[in-house]
Amino acid sequence: MAADNADAFFDDDQTGDRLARAVIEALHAGRSWAHIATDLGVPPPAVRDRLGVTDRDWQEAIVAHENARAARLDDLSRSRLS
């Protein structure tokens, strides 16, 4: 989902809703959190204590990635208004 430019046309609530629906649909289709993260372009989280990467690690990585993307879009829209 490398749609930063397309998402600029939607407000944060619409973008968040679309992301939530996409994740729910992917989970219902049997996709793993790792697959969802890969589709979103999220880099793999660091492996802790050689235990491997858990679903929670992927979920946190997705949230951090999407928060950073939203901040970039917000910065971009603010610079356009200036």
Per-residue model confidence (pLDDT) at position 5: 44
At 30 the pLDDT is 95
- Say whether pTM exceeds 0.85: no
**Residue 70: predicted pLDDT:** 84
DSSP string of the chain, one letter each residue: ---HHHHTTS-HHHHHHHHHHHHHHHHHTT--HHHHHHHHTPPPPPP-TTS---HHHHHHHHHHHHHHHHHHHHHHHHHHH-
What residue ranges of the chain have pLDDT lower than 70? 1-13, 81-82
